[in-house]
Structures are given as C-alpha cells and as structure tokens.
Amino acid sequence: MLYPARFGNDPLFPKATDFEVVYKDEKTGKGVISYRAFKRGEIIARMSGEVISDIRQHTLQISEDKHLYDVYFSGYFLHSCSPNISLDMDKMTVTALKDIKANTYLYMDYAETEDHLFKQFPCSCGSKNCRGWVAGKKDMHPAMLEPLAIAANQ
C-alpha cells in the first residue's frame, strides 16, 4: 500500500507494486507513475487522505469547502489538457479515461476537480487541445482568452 496503515485496508487503495510517486524532471517535479496497464473505464484506485478546509499545493477539491490532502498518491497526479485519468471526488475513485500502458504517468485535468488552483502555471502538456495555462475551472475564462498576457503579469 502507498497509504499508511492508519488509513485502513481498502482493497482498492493503490499498491506500492502498481504505483509510485517519482521525480519526473526539474520542470515538472514529482508525478505518479503506473507500473500496471489499465483498460479504459477501469477503476484504477481509491484515494484517501486528510480532509481539510484550505487549498494547498497537493490538495484536490471534494466540495466547495472541503479538500483532500493526499501526499502519498493523488496529490501528485500531473496535469494534462488531454488527461488519461478522471477523478470522482464523491466516490474517491480514479478511473482510466483511455487505455493506459504499463510505465505511464497518470495525468488528470486539474480543472476537473479544482475551482481555483493553489498556484496557476503555464501548461506544457503538448496535447493538441492544450489550453496553454493551468487554472481552476472558475479561473479559466480570462486565462483562456489571453493566456500569454496573464503569464506575463504573474
């Protein structure tokens, strides 16, 4: 298990043999790699962590005023505008959006869960539909209009 024993023993919790939080590169920092292949639509794992009321670097939004602080697994999912996973913050599950090969980084779309990000940043996901700027869904409108102007003003 990636989670400490005090989190309980859910069989869907991520196993240390299947996933690892690894240092990807200087630009990206850490990410979660999957050593296992998954089929599109398959539930990959269940998330857990501390539920807190403020936004931090590794939180994921559960509701208006609740955020999951998980420094063992989901807090390190990388962002892509063309993600390979989707998060259900009610069921706390992670689902494969496409077929995932073994030894692949897991990418979510931060705007799927977050109204606002702890820190916005320029996107380098390289996908065809890249928005160019990573922000929460409620921050998105101006960022999508003029991503470069906003980047310059940060």
Give the interface with Zn ion as residue ranges (CB under 5 A): 81, 123, 125, 130
With respect to Zn ion, which residue has the nearer C-beta, 71 or 130?
130
Radius of gyration of the chain (CA): 15
With respect to Zn ion, which residue has the nearer C-beta, 123 or 143?
123
With respect to Zn ion, which residue has the nearer C-beta, 20 or 112?
112
Q: How far is the CB of 128 from Zn ion (least distance, A)?
A: 10
* Total H helices, total E strands in the chain: 3, 13
Per DSSP, helices labelled H in 4-139 are 110-113
Question: Is the Cβ–Cβ distance between 11 and 2 less than 8 Å?
Answer: no
- Kindly give, in sequence order, each residue whose CB lies less than 8 Å from that of residue 142, ignoring residues fewer than 6 positions away: 150
Q: How far is the CB of 133 from Zn ion (least distance, A)?
A: 8
Q: How far is the CB of 139 from Zn ion (least distance, A)?
A: 15
With respect to Zn ion, which residue has the nearer C-beta, 48 or 113?
113
Q: How far is the CB of 28 from Zn ion (least distance, A)?
A: 12
Largest CA distance in the chain: 48
With respect to Zn ion, which residue has the nearer C-beta, 68 or 81?
81
DSSP β-ladder status, 59-63 and 66-69: antiparallel
- Phi and psi at residue 91, in whole multiples of 5°? -85, -10
Q: How far is the CB of 77 from Zn ion (least distance, A)?
A: 14
- Kindly give, in sequence order, each residue whose CB lies less than 8 Å from that of residue 56, ignoring residues fewer than 6 positions away: 67, 69, 118
